[in-house]
């Protein structure tokens, strides 16, 4: 029982009933990594085995006890090696240990990461299609409904609903439950819930988009309110696909807040799925290459521009999504339909400040200015305006958002190792993108 347990927790604890052994045996783990890789298998087995040995032999040599220490440790880890296989052991060594996530996260519960949630049945017919304007869902309704996690803070329409939609490799519970969900639940103007996508969104992004389309229709009808949606990373692409091809979602969604989005994919997908060593890839990582059919299809149908009022928040030092600066930043959404879009780069908003220095991909989830902009958008029901944010100097001087702690930072950074473990464990490996669905051809 080691780090693989927490990795397994992300995908498997919630499936414990279906898969009686939640702890992945080491040989099975490697076996699953190398399966389906043909001629490269020997090499992959070596790489995977070296990776696991490295991770298992890694013990934290430091404990993170101050914010400056956390920042300097992250800087070391992410500026030293660009190879993610090397990054994970360094991350753990520096004290960002995924094994600590349950103990750090007060009240950590496998149920928070479940893909088999028991929810009230929809109170109107939203399946097999949610509206005549939409294609039929390809996933079973039980799968779509089961991914929606409604916490016990939910008011079912007394407060305005906010859907939290996760990214690649980490379920919604680990991503949001103890940061955004915990804090937003205390506010009078937000009522958070989240999704846990099967295979942690590593499978076909078009299927993950169906979860977004269904959840918007379901929560809007359940609460008799239009919804707000907060997306992280790939979740932003999944939502954009849903808004593009499932138009029922547009009038039901008041606004979007996109955290570390990758609308143009990421050039670093090639580091996650390198051709050497060839670890193979997963469908949704292939779809997040900048040149993917998924992204070109999305853009060919108008998906490079917002459909609903949008706030996008990104970091120049994102170790996963690049480029986030320059002429064509991945996280920037255009506004050809004039719905209202604000795009923020944390380093521009808080120059040379703790909140605007090294901010990792997942760091946006605890970043103090990202959270302040999110609150501004939620409070006003429209895209965040920096000019409305009070005490900007004070906010920029903090690394984590008010109400979040150093432990939240450590747990969130530890989730990067969870992502990588889930990525390696995903099967079948593939080097070919899923086919574009018939409705989008």
User: Which residues are 102's β-sheet partners?
Assistant: none
User: How many C-beta neighbours within 10 Å does residue 155 have?
Assistant: 11
The smaller minimum CB distance to ligand NAG, of residues 255 and 266, is found at 255
Query: Which residues in the 268-297 window bind ligand NAG by CB under 6 A?
Result: none
* Shortest Cβ 250–ligand NAG spacing (Å): 7
* Shortest Cβ 214–ligand NAG spacing (Å): 18
The smaller minimum CB distance to ligand NAG, of residues 217 and 287, is found at 217
* Shortest Cβ 339–ligand NAG spacing (Å): 10
Tokens 């320059």 appear where? 326
* Shortest Cβ 160–ligand NAG spacing (Å): 9
Nearest-CA neighbor of 418 among 2, 6, 1?
A: 6
The smaller minimum CB distance to ligand NAG, of residues 42 and 224, is found at 224
d(CA 52, CA 425): 11
DSSP state, residue 15: G
Tokens 């380093």 appear where? 347
d(CA 350, CA 353): 6
* Shortest Cβ 208–ligand NAG spacing (Å): 24
Query: Which residues in the 196-225 window bind ligand NAG by CB under 6 A?
Result: 224-225
* Cβ atoms 31, 45 nearer than 8 A: no
**Euclidean distance between the first and the last CA atom of the chain, given in angstroms as a whole number:** 46
* Shortest Cβ 348–ligand NAG spacing (Å): 31
Nearest-CA neighbor of 377 among 253, 215, 246, 265?
A: 253
Task: Region of 165 please: left (phi>0), alpha (psi -120 to 50) or beta.
Answer: beta
* Cβ atoms 167, 331 nearer than 8 A: no
The smaller minimum CB distance to ligand NAG, of residues 72 and 226, is found at 226
Nearest-CA neighbor of 413 among 172, 108, 70?
A: 70
* Shortest Cβ 252–ligand NAG spacing (Å): 6
Which residues lie closer than 8 Å to 287 by C-beta, 6 or more apart? 204, 205, 237, 265, 293, 294, 295, 433, 434
Residue 226, interface with ligand NAG (CB under 6 A)? Answer: yes
Our CA dihedral for 180, 393, 405, 92, rounded to 10 degrees, sits at 100
The smaller minimum CB distance to ligand NAG, of residues 339 and 355, is found at 339
The smaller minimum CB distance to ligand NAG, of residues 188 and 326, is found at 188
* Shortest Cβ 44–ligand NAG spacing (Å): 49
The smaller minimum CB distance to ligand NAG, of residues 79 and 224, is found at 224
Binding mask 89-128 for ligand NAG (x = CB under 6 A): ----------------------------------------
The smaller minimum CB distance to ligand NAG, of residues 226 and 293, is found at 226
Residue 159, interface with ligand NAG (CB under 6 A)? Answer: no
* Cβ atoms 411, 83 nearer than 8 A: no
Residue 430, interface with ligand NAG (CB under 6 A)? Answer: no
Our CA dihedral for 146, 209, 434, 293, rounded to 10 degrees, sits at -170
* Shortest Cβ 220–ligand NAG spacing (Å): 7
The smaller minimum CB distance to ligand NAG, of residues 32 and 226, is found at 226
Residue 251, interface with ligand NAG (CB under 6 A)? Answer: yes
Can you give the binding site for ligand NAG, defined by CB under 6 A?
224-226, 251
């Amino acid at each position: 029982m080691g780090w693989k347990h927490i990795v397994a927790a992300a995908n498997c604890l919630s499936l414990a009933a279906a898969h009686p052994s939640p702890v992945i045996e080491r040989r099975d783990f490697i076996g699953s990594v190398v399966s389906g890789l043909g001629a490269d298998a020997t090499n992959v087995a070596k790489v995977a085995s070296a990776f696991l040995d490295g991770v298992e032999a890694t013990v934290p040599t430091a404990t993170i006890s101050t914010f400056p220490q956390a920042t300097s440790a992250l800087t070391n880890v992410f500026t030293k090696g660009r190879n993610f296989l090397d990054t994970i052991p360094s991350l753990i060594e520096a004290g960002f240990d995924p094994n600590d996530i349950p103990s750090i996260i007060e009240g950590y519960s496998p149920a928070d990461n479940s893909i088999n949630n028991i929810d009230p049945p929809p109170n109107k017919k939203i399946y097999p299609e949610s509206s005549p304007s939409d294609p039929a869902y390809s996933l079973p309704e039980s799968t779509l409904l089961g991914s929606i996690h409604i916490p016990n803070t939910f008011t079912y329409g007394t407060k305005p609903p906010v859907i939290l939609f996760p990214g690649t490799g980490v379920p919604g519970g680990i991503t949001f439950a103890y940061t955004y969900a915990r804090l937003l639940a205390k506010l009078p103007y937000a009522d958070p819930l989240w999704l846990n996508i099967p295979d942690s969104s590593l499978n076909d992004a078009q299927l993950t988009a169906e979860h977004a389309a269904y959840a918007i229709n379901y929560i809007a009808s359940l609460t008799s309110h239009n919804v707000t949606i907060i997306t992280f990373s790939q979740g932003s692409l999944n939502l954009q696909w849903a808004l593009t091809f499932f138009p029922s979602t547009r009038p039901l969604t008041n606004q979007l807040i996109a955290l570390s989005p990758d609308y143009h994919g990421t050039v670093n997908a090639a580091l996650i799925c390198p051709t050497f060593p060839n670890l193979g890839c997963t469908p949704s990582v292939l779809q997040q290459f900048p040149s993917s059919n998924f992204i070109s299809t999305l853009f060919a149908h108008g998906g490079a521009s917002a459909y609903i009022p949008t706030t996008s928040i990104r970091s120049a030092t994102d170790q996963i999504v690049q480029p986030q600066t320059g002429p064509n930043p991945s996280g920037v959404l255009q506004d050809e339909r004039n719905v209202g879009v604000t795009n923020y780069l944390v380093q521009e908003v808080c120059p040379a400040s703790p909140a605007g220095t090294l901010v990792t991909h997942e760091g946006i989830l605890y970043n103090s200015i990202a959270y302040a902009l999110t609150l501004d958008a939620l409070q006003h029901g429209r895209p965040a305006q920096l000019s409305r944010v009070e005490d900007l100097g004070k906010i920029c001087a903090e690394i984590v958002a008010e109400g979040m702690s150093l432990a939240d930072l450590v747990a969130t950074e530890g989730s990067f190792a969870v992502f990588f473990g889930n990525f390696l464990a995903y099967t079948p490996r593939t080097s070919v993108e899923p086919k574009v669905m018939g409705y989008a051809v």
